[in-house]
Structure 1
Amino acid sequence: MSLNMEEMCENLQSGERRTKLSALILLQDQCEKESYAQLHDIFDEIYLHLLKCYSDRFESVREKAVQTVTEFVNKLPPNDFHLMNIVSTLVERMGQQETLESSEEIRLLYIQKLLTLIQKYTVTGNKRSLQECYTEIISVLTKALRDAYPAVQRESCACVVALMNAADTIAIQPFIEKLTKPLYGMLNHKHSLARISAVEAIGRLALHVDPKNDTLSQLIMEVSPLLMDSMPLVRRECGQLGILLALELRDRYSFFDRIIPFILCCLKDDSPEVVDFIRPQWIKCGKQYFDENEAELSKQEIGDLPVKNYPPDVERPTIGCRAIVQRSLRLLSLITRESNDWKVNVRLHSLKLLYQFVLHAEAAMTAKFFEIYGDVARACRDPEAIVSTEAMKVADLMGRLFSYDDWIEHGFDGLVKNTKEGYLKCFYHMFAASLGSKIDDIIRVSEMLISSEFSQTLKPEVQLYVLKLVETILSKSDEVGEQFENDKNEKLVLNSYVATIKVMALSFDSEQTNVVELQDLGQYILTKLAERQKITVAALHENYFVNALNYVDNLDASLDDLTEPIILLNGLINIAKLRATYLPDLQEKIILVWENCDDSAKVKIFTSISVVMLQWTETINRQLCESTELLTNFVSSVIERHLLWHAGANAEAMRSMAMATLCAMSQGAVEEARIVLPACVAKYLPSLLEDRSVATRHYSVKCLFNFGEVDVEQLKPIAYATLQRLDDPSAGIRELAAMVIPKLSPKFNKSKSEKEDFEHEIWETFIRKALDMMFLHYEGPEVCLQKSIKASINLLAAKYPEICKDSYKRTVAMSYNSLSLRELQSELPLLI
């Protein structure tokens, strides 16, 4: 033996740090040179001195002592006596109530040393030696798992994994609970590597848990929150835990419903790395289950036909994987309950898990539809877009994979009893994705959509999905083809039209963000309905609009412009316009508004009437006599009542709207207006032309441009009132008045010559007065007014040349140096 052992022992006990370090270094060198037998003798003599150095006051000595002992252990064969001594020393340094070792690095060396011992005794087959030290090892690990140094904690988890891999279940079970508590604490560690290590250790530890107590359930419950961890590797480790238990847990069949969520959540993970890592292992689990139940599953495999409507770009799970999930459907209630949690990530996690359950269970899960319908529907209207989108994916998948005949009736019942946004969205996605829709089901959907609960709501999302569902039932009806009977087809078209136009009407004048989308989709549906009936959209309105108009009710109440019936009526008028087939019915609704509703509602409806009146000729599309009769009735019943003067600002506004409508009528129904206006409006115009409202006066003057012929006696007050507008405070009205005077058309009595001469004389007197005033106003500074007067004088001069010349001469004679009138003579040769 080359070493002086007596001297070596003295050096290890020396008070000098250098002496002890030199001795330890020398021992390490000796480990490289000596044989096993010589090293065994050396270690037997000095191991007590080496272990005593573990408690040396110098950190460098303690560190070197640990390294030296490690060298000896690595070189020497396993020895139970040395194992017990080393572990006892570790317990003394780390396993006490208060940790004696202050150095983090040395505590890490202690745990690394313990890991080395566990691995060495495991590989060499001396597991029984480890069992005798379980109490000491567990006490060290329990303390180390709570260490403040993360590296120590991670290494301790590695020790747990190594120990569990080698442990006898019965021998290790008494110590399980002591290890689980500190491991649970590590699941919330700020370092992701620590969390990963803890999950791995818990997975190995779970294989030895007694299934008769609640430890395994508690273990699964503690790890479950990490499925929503922000780090993909942590989530992947949770999936790995599920795979481990699904493959190796002895009582795994009893715990499949608690294990598979770890796996299925990873299959729907946002990180491809997680999915790609777990998927092949999950297939392995399915294969193992298939092999274990081959007698039963092989028969099922024979009739396992491909699903016709399987979602694109989704790989169908193997029959073994599907069988595992199908036997675990009792977990659904727990999953759906979490879909209503107050935390967004919990709700999202729950729906992703539910998606995988549906994907694996397929039609076998149809019987559970009534249990999850309400929760999926609520999730479809979740305020968080990411959650609602995931819920709608689940609904789409249910529609594809569930047995249509088994879920459709309950789907209808839920929609009828819960006329809410969520149920509508859920039903839409299921119905749209399903196959095998029947004629009666399509008709039933259309009948539900026309009810006020769906198509008469002001909620933008509900409106959108009503239109989407209408589009869907039309597409599905096209698939039915020739089986669709004529009466049912007519009913479908009618219901689809009513539901669509009501939604369009309610969103027409809205400020909601999806109004353009709603109007475009609605117009597309109307076009599709027209093509289906082989008619135009205009004819579609003529045929079916009155049915939609019937849903405008409660107009006998004091409604304002923001109430649903007024919004609906206003939208219907703007979308369908005025048409002969339903004009009388529309008049009745409008009259109810005039008699009962607030002024704001009246103004809103009147505004729309004035707009659509511009398209009268185009939309009425009838012979002149019939069109004139319709227009006369409309004006007399709807408009005329507002032309009579009443006090108050609201009455003034209504007069303005009435005149705006008549003005629009004179432009949109040119031929009819020349007949209707004189008959219905002439008696009100003199007062309207002098109304206090600028708008009323403006529209009154403008209305005269297409007024038609009027008896001289009736036209006379209108003409003079118009002439007074040359002095109107509004420049625009002054210009219009100057332009409209030549447009006035007197109707002379031709039956009696004396009366005819008298009427001509009356009218020429007016023309003379009009020309005098126009020449007089021509001298003013307004360029635009001069231009209007010049055009009117030119027209009047062509018709009444002598009167025009006389008037010009009189005006010039009364004027002093009027350059503008002199210039006018050169521009209008008729005045010479």
Structure 2
Amino acid sequence: MATLLAAEAAAPRVPAEAAETAEAAELSRALSRLLPGLEADSKLGRRRALEALQRALEAVRPEAPDADPAAFQGPWARLLLPRLLRCLADPAEGCRALAVHLLDLGLRRAARPCDALPRLLPALAARLACPEPARRPPPEPCEELRLALVQLLGLAVRLSGAALAPHLDDAVRVLRCTLLDPFAAVRRESCECAAGLARATPDHFHMQSESLIGPLMQTISHQHWKVRVAVIEATGAVIQFGSGKSVDDVLPHFAQRLFDDVPQVRRAVARAVGGWLLGLRDRYSFLHKLIPLLLSGLGDDMPDIAQEATSLWEKVGLQWQTENEEDLKDKLDFAGPPPAHHPSPGSRPGLGCRELVCRNLSKILPAICHDISDWVAGTRVKAAQLLAVLLLHAEDHATQHLEPVLRTLLHACADEEGAVVRSCISCAELVGTFVSPEVFLKLILSSLRKSPSASGLLVLASVIRGCPREALGPHVKVIATELAQAHICQGSDNPVYGEHLLLCVQAVVAGGQEHCRGAALPLLKALVTIMALWGATGLGDKVQDTLAALAAAEGVDDSQDLYREHLGALLEWLAASHHSWTIHSVEVLQFDVVVTHSGPALGEALPQLVPILGSCFQPARDPPLRLKLFSTLTRVLLRAKETLDSQGQLHGYLDAVVRDVLVPSLQWHAGRTAAAIRTAAVSCLWALVGSGAVSDKQTQGLRDALMPQVLAALEEDSQTARLLSCRIVDVFLQPSDAAIEPDGLIRIYPELLKRLDDVSNEVRLAATSTLVTWLERVRDEAGKDCYRSSVQHLYRELLVYLDDPESAVQDAVLEALKAGSVLFPDVLLRETEAVLHRHRSPARCQQLLQHLQALLPAQ
């Protein structure tokens, strides 16, 4: 209050007789009658006086033809203003509110509102400013009144313009406090006022602007998005008309607002930064700091924000291009069309935009490389998106910064955030588009040689995918050879590694096309390795599609023809290390893939294949390895006509297979591992004899060589081994054109009889079926009388099982006895009659007797 009285006393006093017109005199008399009420002791009296003043002022319309602002100026400044300012400190809230309203009316109607500033600004500072705004509440306790007072300050700024310059200290002191006001509306109004103050006093504001940056940055993260937008807009104006020293203090906060969930906030950042790039006095000093903020808006999720940021960026580029026209004269005069391989030639950035990025990339890139490894996922995403935009602008200028760019991409492509990886893939594709393959391959392949990684392969695949075909062609063989190296294609057992390795091969095949003809073998080796290591993880179908594409590039019909072209080289490649194979060797898995996927081509490679198998199946080799290879061999033997015997040449290698593969593996040795190998060997033998690729003569040779081992396998613990052994014996007995020694034939049936007591019904039925074949074979043998005692013994044993608890076994045995009854029906009849009364269920014995009684008269 003392300040107000002192200001009133110091104000120049003009004689009323010289200054006032008749209209002014009349207004002065009217106001003089009402003003004493403002000094009343009662709150009600003061309020009534203020209300009367309000009615008096509102009665005169400023827009009326007879309204004279000059006539209002004298009474307003001399009588009304000082008393209303004293009312701002009135104890009654209602009186203060009326006083603010009247001050607003007075400023709007006065001819020279700036004359009120020497009294108004100190009064507003007295009500709104406090020494420590963050700790102490403002002198004005009512938030609605604080809002009205700030609005009054804003009105004074708008009406006074540059005349406010001498009072900047008071205005800024007010705003420093109100920008931190607890009431959000006060903060918003303060931001608008700060922006208006900056625009109104451009020649003097820079001396005070720095003092507003702190409160603004404290408010920029306010929970109300409208407050955040207002702060950003105010900061734009404060920096624009203030000191460039504050830019560094503001930029980190603006960068954080790029992650704001509210689109309006991000739009405000783009507008503010775009305004600085277009109009900031010292903008050339801050280009490398401002450009990333604006370019980040180009990839905004909201299309309208991205479009507005793009428009601003184009204006910035055009303005810079105009300002530096002499420097760019050659490029402007000899401007060529966009590169033919440009990813979006229709929307290629302008020359000014490209030059701005190129000239500042060395300063921008280190920060991007740092942020792309930030611990906050959002920061990494934005940094990766921005890097893609920068590379699109830099074009071939990126070659100068390729090493840090690739190092960053190698790290970021391993990020757990999918958006980061996708943006980095786009970056790598742009590198491939604009940088020579000789340059990027030297760096990437060198990195892969030192430390193979899934991210490195992903970067390589992406740059290859982005590289123009004509540029990639001469380097296809080098890339393919490198990918086929063991240290790369076997660099990890991680499924992601395999997926990215496959992406590399796919990119080479798609980009190389006809150039792949000289690189098909190493590419095929890489695909074989991928199928071997990761085919079970879901990459099998993709590998087959890639093989089809490679076959088309090679000029052959399909993948089978591709294998036929290169199977010899593949087996030679694998044979180089087969003496040291173990179950853990990758070569074993590769061998499995080659053998099982070569199809008919396998029949042409028997001279190379059989020696490898013979070496690997020796008893001294790793037992798990032998089991694995038995599985592989069994699979191809099951389709022998389409694989190993596609050329009808398998018979020439049967002796070697029997000698080196089957015989050593069927030998009895103690232990579960040896038993498993014998079971695998029996399965393989069954696949061989059951495939139809072995003639009767060859079957006889197998029988002579392997019958003892097969009969021994009937005693194996493995049900599979016993079952398949029964079936193999059945096949061995079938050829009738080759005689079997009686002793050899007689030794067979006791072993089969033992299987009728097997725990597995399937084995029992198979043994019964084989006994039928044995009986048929005896019938076809000359001198069958020598088998009479053996057949009689067989009859007796089979009759026991005719009363078996399992009806299926009973039926099978009945059919066996009927089939064998043609040998010695009289013997069987006697034996059957002898046991008829012993059976629990004689029904099948009676059926057999009826069959025999019908058979004997016929004979």
Please report the TM-score for the alignment, with normalisation by the length of structure 1. 0.89
- Equivalent position amino acid for 1:113 in 2: L
Aligned residue for 2:250? 219
Match of 1:101 among 130, 140, 144: 140
**1:325–1:357 CA contact under 8 A, matched in 2:** yes
CA shift, 1:139, in A, is: 0.5
Aligned residue for 2:765? 735
Q: 1:579 to 1:802 in 2, by over 3 A?
A: closer
- Equivalent position amino acid for 2:714 in 1: L
CA shift, 1:137, in A, is: 0.5
Aligned residue for 2:743? 713
Whole-angstrom CA distance in 1 between matches of 2:701 and 2:512: 47
Q: Aligned ranges for residues 140-539 of structure 1 at < 5 Å?
A: 140-169=174-203, 171-211=204-244, 213=245, 215-301=246-332, 302-312=334-344, 315-330=347-362, 331-404=364-437, 406-435=439-468, 436-456=470-490, 457-479=492-514, 489=517, 491-508=518-535, 510=536, 512=537, 514-525=538-549, 527-528=551-552, 531-532=555-556, 536-537=561-562, 539=564
Deviations 1:355-405 (A, max 9, x none): 111111212222211221111122122222221111101111222233445
Aligned residue for 1:677? 702
Whole-angstrom CA distance in 1 between matches of 2:497 and 2:503: 10
1:815 maps onto 2:855 in alignment: no
**1:704–1:740 CA contact under 8 A, matched in 2:** yes
- Equivalent position amino acid for 1:40 in 2: Q
**Higher CA-based Rg:** 2
Q: Aligned ranges for residues 90-129 of structure 1 at < 5 Å?
A: 90-97=124-131, 98=136, 99-122=138-161, 127=162, 129=163
Aligned residue for 1:783? 807
Aligned residue for 2:42? 16
Q: 1:79 to 1:522 in 2, by over 3 A?
A: closer
Q: Aligned ranges for residues 562-711 of structure 1 at < 5 Å?
A: 564-576=586-598, 579=603, 581=605, 584-585=608-609, 588=612, 591-592=615-616, 600-621=624-645, 626-671=649-694, 674-707=699-732, 710-711=740-741
Match of 2:756 among 722, 726, 730: 726
Whole-angstrom CA distance in 2 between matches of 1:725 and 1:766: 17
Deviations 1:214-236 (A, max 9, x none): x3222223321211222222111
1:792 maps onto 2:816 in alignment: yes
Whole-angstrom CA distance in 1 between matches of 2:295 and 2:575: 52
Deviations 1:477-512 (A, max 9, x none): 4355xxx8xxxx3x412111111111111123x3x3
Q: 1:438 to 1:348 in 2, by over 3 A?
A: closer
- Equivalent position amino acid for 1:400 in 2: T
- Equivalent position amino acid for 1:495 in 2: P
**2:314–2:350 CA contact under 8 A, matched in 1:** yes
**2:73–2:112 CA contact under 8 A, matched in 1:** no
**1:711–1:746 CA contact under 8 A, matched in 2:** no
Q: 1:651 to 1:11 in 2, by over 3 A?
A: same
Query: Secondary structure of the equivalent of 1:282?
Result: helix
**1:54–1:65 CA contact under 8 A, matched in 2:** yes
Query: Secondary structure of the equivalent of 1:121?
Result: helix
1:130 maps onto 2:164 in alignment: yes
Query: Secondary structure of the equivalent of 1:205?
Result: helix
Q: Which stretch has the larger CA shift, 707-716 or 153-162?
A: 707-716
Structure 2: unaligned runs, 5 residues or longer = 1-25, 61-66
**2:113–2:159 CA contact under 8 A, matched in 1:** no
CA shift, 1:328, in A, is: 1.2
Whole-angstrom CA distance in 1 between matches of 2:377 and 2:741: 77
Query: Secondary structure of the equivalent of 1:532?
Result: coil
Query: Secondary structure of the equivalent of 2:328?
Result: helix
Q: 1:787 to 1:819 in 2, by over 3 A?
A: closer
Query: Secondary structure of the equivalent of 1:147?
Result: coil
Match of 1:39 among 72, 75, 80: 72
Aligned residue for 2:827? 806
Q: CA RMSD in A?
A: 3.0
Aligned residue for 1:29? 55
1:549 maps onto 2:582 in alignment: no
Deviations 1:126-180 (A, max 9, x none): x0x21111110110000111111111111111111111112234x2233222111
Q: Which stretch has the larger CA shift, 320-329 or 574-583?
A: 574-583
* Paired positions, count: 799
Query: Secondary structure of the equivalent of 1:467?
Result: helix
Deviations 1:541-595 (A, max 9, x none): 63343145247668456x55xx645544444444347655156556536854766
Whole-angstrom CA distance in 1 between matches of 2:237 and 2:471: 50
Deviations 1:398-435 (A, max 9, x none): 22233445544334434434422112111211112211
CA shift, 1:745, in A, is: 9.1
- Equivalent position amino acid for 1:216 in 2: V
Structure 1: unaligned runs, 5 residues or longer = 751-755
Query: Secondary structure of the equivalent of 2:300?
Result: coil
Percent of aligned pairs sharing the same letter: 22
CA shift, 1:312, in A, is: 4.9
Query: Secondary structure of the equivalent of 1:294?
Result: coil
Query: Secondary structure of the equivalent of 1:358?
Result: helix
**2:683–2:724 CA contact under 8 A, matched in 1:** yes
- Equivalent position amino acid for 1:726 in 2: L
Query: Secondary structure of the equivalent of 1:682?
Result: helix
Query: Secondary structure of the equivalent of 1:446?
Result: helix
Please report the TM-score for the alignment, with normalisation by the length of structure 2. 0.86
Q: 1:670 to 1:402 in 2, by over 3 A?
A: closer
Q: 1:592 to 1:208 in 2, by over 3 A?
A: farther
Query: Secondary structure of the equivalent of 1:500?
Result: helix
Q: 1:234 to 1:495 in 2, by over 3 A?
A: same
Whole-angstrom CA distance in 1 between matches of 2:613 and 2:210: 78
Q: 1:763 to 1:304 in 2, by over 3 A?
A: farther
Whole-angstrom CA distance in 2 between matches of 1:17 and 1:449: 92
Whole-angstrom CA distance in 2 between matches of 1:745 and 1:579: 38
Whole-angstrom CA distance in 2 between matches of 1:15 and 1:661: 117
Q: 1:64 to 1:314 in 2, by over 3 A?
A: farther
Whole-angstrom CA distance in 2 between matches of 1:554 and 1:55: 102
